Amino acid sequence: MNPLNPDSRKEREPYVVTSKGHTAVAINAAAKAGEWIKSRQGLVKELGTKTSAQDLVTEVDKGVEQMIRRLILTHYPDHAILGEEGVEPGDEAAAAAITEARKHEYLWIVDPVDGTTNFVHGFPFYCVSIALVIRGDLTVGVIYDPIRDEMFVAEKGKGAYMHGVPTSVSSESELAGSLLAMGFPPDREFAQPANMAGLQSLLPQIRGIRAGGSAALHLAYVAAGRVDGYWEVGLKPWDCAAGVLLVLESGGKVTDTLGRAYDIGTCHVVASNGRIHEDLVASLKEADATGYKL
Ligand code: IPD
Ligand code: CA
Ligand code: CA
């Protein structure tokens, strides 16, 4: 190639970005975002609400999402980004955004702060969640907890890791010996009764339950074998896309609350080590706690 002749550029081999490149971008963005969020804990200036008084948003959620968008687009200007703060609040707008997002070959799904209520209260359990979907396939999932400096990374077909150490789900096979996690989205009309029914049904059958306030971190904890399973009715893709890949690549199972395969449009999610999955789904169905009309 002649560097002085611009036409000779045509002779160059096209640069193929590998999935490793995608993952590196996700890790870098999550690390920068996480540091920023942690540095602002206790210093929130603008506390706003979205769909209800319980649905919080701060200038940090918005600013961090902008930062992540800029970082991703610097590397991949033609990729699409579905970020929580870029979508109008409410289920209808989210459904429309998901339909639009499905059209894109390369789709990043971003939750800048998962666990905003915790962040606002100084409860140190929140994270950044970034996933990449390529032609409909969840391909990269990164979740960063800036408080514990834990970076969970999954690549489709290549496993899941936390700081280079493979993560794997637990081996518990009985609900009776299980520690589960769950959550309560801000919606109190539809999601809260369903999640309360699930809690009521499962708590007496298991060892214990945690509702830590970050869906993404709970999924990362299923992947890491720290809890045996997790479910929640009323999620959005940015809450769970990255965590779903982490669980799958750690040997676990993820379905909707009726036991059907996960898709980015799935809002009612069950994730587990696989061994307790059937029992978990059966209990939710029996308690009419799936979020679906049966
Ligand atoms: C919320 C958290 C919470 C879960 C809710 C989510 P946000 O996300 O993940 O644990 O129960 O369903 O909406 O609003 O903090 O990003
Ligand atoms: Ca979230
Ligand atoms: Ca969020």
User: What pLDDT digit, counting tens, does each position of 60-83 carry?
Assistant: 899 999 999 999 999 999 999 999
Total number of domains in the chain: 2
Residues 106 and 60 in one domain: yes
Q: Would residue 57 count as lying in a domain?
A: yes
Residues 136 and 32 in one domain: yes
Structural domain for 230, as ranges: 175-286
- Phi and psi at 139, nearest 5°, equal -115, -35
| CA of 235 relative to ligand 1 center, distance in Å | 7
Residues 227 and 120 in one domain: no
- Residue 46 annotated in ligand binding: no
CATH value at residue 208: 3.40.190.80
Q: Does ligand 1 lie within 6 Å of residue 85's CB atom?
A: no
Contact 64, 112 (CB under 8 A): yes
Q: Ligand 2 (ion): which residues have CB within 5 A?
A: 111, 114, 239
Residues 159 and 187 in one domain: no
Q: pLDDT at position 2, please? A: 45
Of the listed ligands, the closest to the CA of 216 is 1
Last residue in a domain, options 142, 166, 190: 166
Residues 155 and 191 in one domain: no
- Nearest atom of ligand 1 to the alpha carbon of 185: 12
Q: Would residue 269 count as lying in a domain?
A: yes
Instruction: Please give the average per-residue pLDDT across 140-152, as a whole number.
Output: 98
CATH value at residue 45: 3.30.540.10
- Residue 256 annotated in ligand binding: no
Residues 65 and 157 in one domain: yes
Last residue in a domain, options 138, 166, 194: 166
Residue 161: band (very low, low, confident or very high) from pLDDT cuts 50, 70, 90: very high
The whole-chain average pLDDT of the chain stands at 93
The β-bridge relationship of strands 208-210 and 179-182 is: parallel
Q: Which mutation among 130, 214, 227, 233 tests ligand 1's pocket best, with the greatest number of atoms within 8 A of CB?
A: 214
Residues 67 and 110 in one domain: yes
Give tens-digit pLDDT for 270-284.
999 999 999 999 999
* pTM over cut 0.85: yes
Residues 149 and 213 in one domain: no
